[in-house]
Amino acid sequence: MSDAVSPTSAGPVPRGIRHWPMRAGIALLVGAARLPWPVQRALGRGLGALAFVLAPSRRHAARINLRLCFPELDDATRSRLLRGTFRDFGIGLFEFARAWWGDIAPMRRDVVIEGLEHLRELQAQKRGVLMISGHFMTLEMAGRLLCDHVPLAGMYRRYRDPVMEHAVKQGRLRYAAAMFANDEIRAAMRHLKQGGFLWYAPDQDMRGKDTVFAPFFGVPAATITATHQFARLTGCAVVPFFHRREGDRYVLRVAPPLEDFPSQDAASDSARVNAAIEAMVREAPTQYLWIHRRFKRRPDGEAAQY
């Protein structure tokens, strides 16, 4: 881990002429984050429809993912899911911005949170908790809402642009206990060993990391084994965290900790994690980030999917 920036601070603001365009873009996003929620939803639906037309490679990836994961559905149903995915993607961009820089009082009024007793019990035991979820468009808003009840830290992939990195980390640290970049593994493990709560999404193909092929919707998917390793090295509980948006209402559900986790088998544990995330997706299929090429890497001998 680099010692230059604390996981509880965003560091210095990047300056210089070359950063001005991104700083202007961030200012625009901050303004968009403060629009009324009905306006954001309407703009988000329009933005999603535009992305459906203007992002053919992502549309192609989402179509293939839906075909692989829902072979039992007919083409018309999968087509509706595809369009719904882009609609919720557009709305989700505003959800992210609002969670980072906006007012979430309207969301707090109607939020439903189930299963907090599991976290309270683990908190009383002073046991670290790794909360696993997937890359849903509701993840940032759900994380902020849960932070009203528990001191939740998060892991994230660094942004290439330092202005975006600073702005987003600063926005998240308004509510998160800490933020750990994906190259700050030791600090994240220390947080868990000290009884901290950490949100983590292990559902993307992280090239260059320790992975196994584990089933996701019955399809072998390159799956990072970090959940197994975190639990093995820190003794933390692994808790699935479900979240979805139902109209204007957010529903958050904390499941009981996975039993007998970790085992001695990283592949078996990774399959259990994928099964938990699959269950989350089935509850809110259009809110999942299907545009990610989840099945790009294939086991030896299998043809590429994209």
Instruction: Give the residue-averaged pLDDT of 261-270.
Output: 98
pLDDT of 140 reads 95
Domain residue ranges of the chain, discontinuous segments joined by +? 17-287
How large is the angle between the packed helices 75-101 and 20-33, nearest 10 degrees?
A: 100
For the stretch 186-237, pLDDT in tens is: 999 999 999 999 999 999 987 767 999 999 999 999 999 999 999 999 999 9
pLDDT of 208 reads 64
User: In this model, does residue 12 exceed pLDDT 90?
Assistant: no
∠ Cα 116 117 120 (to 5°)? 90
User: In this model, does residue 2 exceed pLDDT 50?
Assistant: no
User: In this model, does residue 255 exceed pLDDT 90?
Assistant: yes
pLDDT of 7 reads 80
Average pLDDT, the chain: 93
Could you tell me which of 304, 209, 230 has the C-alpha nearest to residue 273? Answer: 230
Where does the pLDDT of residue 296 fall: very low under 50, low under 70, confident under 90, or very high at 90 and above?
Answer: very high
Long-range contacts of 62-65 (CB under 8 A, 24+ apart): 62/86, 62/290, 62/291, 64/295, 64/305, 64/306, 65/290, 65/292, 65/293, 65/294, 65/295
For the stretch 63-110, pLDDT in tens is: 999 999 999 999 999 999 999 999 999 999 999 999 999 999 999 999
pLDDT of 136 reads 98
Please give the Cα distance from 131 to 154 (Å, whole number).
9
For the stretch 228-240, pLDDT in tens is: 999 999 999 999 9
Q: Are 247 and 187 in contact (CB under 8 A)?
A: no
Distance of CA 158 to the CA centre of its chain: 14
Q: Are strands 197-200 and 211-216 parallel, antiparallel or unpaired?
A: unpaired
∠ Cα 172 205 234 (to 5°)? 65
